[in-house]
DNA sequence: CTGCGTGCAAAATGTTTGCAATGTG
DNA sequence: CACATTGCAAACATTTTGCACGCAG
């Protein structure tokens, strides 16, 4: 079940001119297998629970290498902590105001993203952060009632 | 020229139940007068260049108080640093990939923001970050040519 | 074998806290 | 006058750096 995944991961690393180390493999495999957007610390904990050990510094090092190689996205949301995402397909994010749940959203903006927004600025990408209530928190709020 | 502004700032603080101190006044006045989205440190430097002194801790303290009172917005963009914005009108942000310029954008999403995006989630606000080249960097890029 | 990548621990941010002094209302 | 707010400095959390060893290629 993982032979293909393993080769895909290693192949992509090599294509980027990176050496393949157990730490790097573990981090990318972990990121590829989650829909969450873990912080460096969460990644470190998860990876270390399965592999010899990846020191904090190496986790950061690996994440930066993967980011620079374009293999993961580094995103900043409401707190001053970097989060990482192996989902390279265009997508946006939803944050639950009540519980902090962080989720991907497939919804697409407008018919097309704007290419020019005035002032001579040219847009080539965009990112949307939607806020509101997730299903659970929405249910809780409506059963509490308005008053 | 500032008597009205002064009274507006003080009035809004009082309406929020806050005491008006020179530090608070200076921070809010500074934020109201800039279109940039300064970090706490930038605010501290700017404020201290004109007023007795506002300690680092007080700058943070004031910013949090203003944020909690809904008088400024705290935003996180590409770096793990909080930025502050006194522009309470709905707007989005543009970041120049080349020079890091940070700007407001009046452009509005779609016809309407989405209210439901599936999964039982309900959206009540959204924020868009547009990336690309600002006018200056765009000019520089096109004069360099495609190679 | 060469040298990149790792691990460790210390340094460098950016932000928060505790307590006494101060100034606002 | 009372109490919120300030200032200072130390605590904190997260991320970065320097150097010696090990492993990938």
Decide if A13 contacts A68 (C-beta within 8 A).
Answer: no
Distance B54 CA to D8 C1' (A): 12
The model's pTM is 0.89
- What distance in Å separates the CA atoms of residue A86 and residue B129, rounded to the nearest whole number? 20
- What distance in Å separates the CA atoms of residue A43 and residue A60, rounded to the nearest whole number? 10
Nearest residue to C22 (CA, C1')?
B21
- pLDDT tens, position by position, A63-113: 999 999 999 999 999 999 999 999 999 899 999 998 888 989 887 765 566
Does B121 sit within 8 Å of A131, measured CB to CB? no
Question: Which bases of chain C are under 7 A from a protein CB atom?
Answer: 4-10, 14-18, 23-25
Residue B126 confidence (pLDDT): 87
Q: With b meaning 16 or more CB within 10 Å and e meaning fewer, what string describes A68-88? A: eeebbbebbbbeeebbbbbee
Q: Is the CB of A40 under 7 A from strand D?
A: yes
Backbone angles phi, psi at B123, to 5 degrees: -95, 130
Shortest Cα–Cα distance, B81 to chain A (Å): 6
- CA distances (Å), origin A121, targets B37, B95, B104: 18, 10, 11
- What distance in Å separates the CA atoms of residue B133 and residue B131, rounded to the nearest whole number? 7
- pLDDT tens, position by position, B61-113: 999 999 999 999 999 999 999 999 999 998 999 999 988 889 898 877 665 66
Please name the nucleotide lying closest to A76, CA to C1'. Answer: D14
- What distance in Å separates the CA atoms of residue B69 and residue B58, rounded to the nearest whole number? 16
């Amino acid at each position: 079940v993982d032979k293909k995944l393993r080769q895909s991961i290693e192949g992509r690393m090599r294509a980027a001119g990176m050496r393949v180390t157990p730490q790097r493999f573990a981090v990318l495999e972990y990121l590829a297998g989650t829909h969450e957007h873990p912080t460096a610390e969460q990644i470190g904990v998860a990876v270390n629970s399965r592999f010899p050990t990846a020191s904090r510094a190496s986790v950061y090092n690996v994440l930066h290498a993967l980011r620079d190689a374009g293999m993961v996205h580094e995103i900043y949301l409401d707190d001053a902590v970097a989060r990482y995402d192996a989902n390279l397909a265009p997508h946006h994010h939803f944050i639950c105001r009540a519980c902090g749940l962080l989720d991907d959203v497939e919804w697409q903006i407008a018919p097309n993203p704007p290419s020019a927004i005035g002032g001579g600025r040219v847009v080539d990408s965009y990112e949307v952060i939607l806020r509101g209530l997730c299903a659970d928190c929405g249910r809780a709020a409506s059963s509490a009632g308005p008053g």
